[in-house]
Amino acid sequence: MPDSTQETRKYIVGWLTFPPGRRQEFLQILPAYVAACRAEPGCLFFEMNPSMLDPDVVTLAECFESEETHATHLKAETFRSFWPQLAALAISGRFENVYPGRVAVDAVRFQPA
């Protein structure tokens, strides 16, 4: 196994679940958000796509240069304005944050409109 002490990247893998039939509405607002995130300093990879296995799920995969650049992403206006839109449409989100040598799990429940 490679030496992870040199590694600083943070990877995020996640699943967003929507009420039946609401995923398409979310997918319509997604392109602008994804493009803005990809343009942020420190963002190495950013994808959100419909699940091929579940019609009510969107999968996501992100990679940032470090925990710090991901924290900056979470404070950015792009994320802060997107989160309420997500919360109005989604039921839940589950995220696995992959760091050198460990994984941390986050979960969130929403109250869709």
Boundaries of every domain in the chain: 7-101
In the block, tokens 């992870």 appear at 4
Amino acid at 79: F
**pLDDT for the residue numbered 108:** 94
**pLDDT for the residue numbered 5:** 64
Compute the distance between CA of residue 63 and CA of residue 70 in angstroms, rounded to an integer.
8
Whether the Cβ atoms of residue 102 and residue 19 lie closer than 8 Å to each other = no
Compute the distance between CA of residue 59 and CA of residue 14 in angstroms, rounded to an integer.
6
Compute the distance between CA of residue 66 and CA of residue 11 in angstroms, rounded to an integer.
9
Nearest to 93 by CA among 111, 77, 75, 79: 111
**pLDDT for the residue numbered 3:** 55
- What tens-digit pLDDT sequence spans the chain (113 residues)? 455 568 899 999 999 999 999 999 999 999 999 999 999 999 999 999 999 999 999 999 999 999 999 999 999 999 999 999 999 999 999 999 999 889 999 999 998 77
Token duo for residue 6: 């040199």
* CATH for 7-101 (3.50.50.60, 3.40.50.720, 3.40.1440.60, 3.30.70.100): 3.30.70.100
Compute the distance between CA of residue 62 and CA of residue 98 in angstroms, rounded to an integer.
10
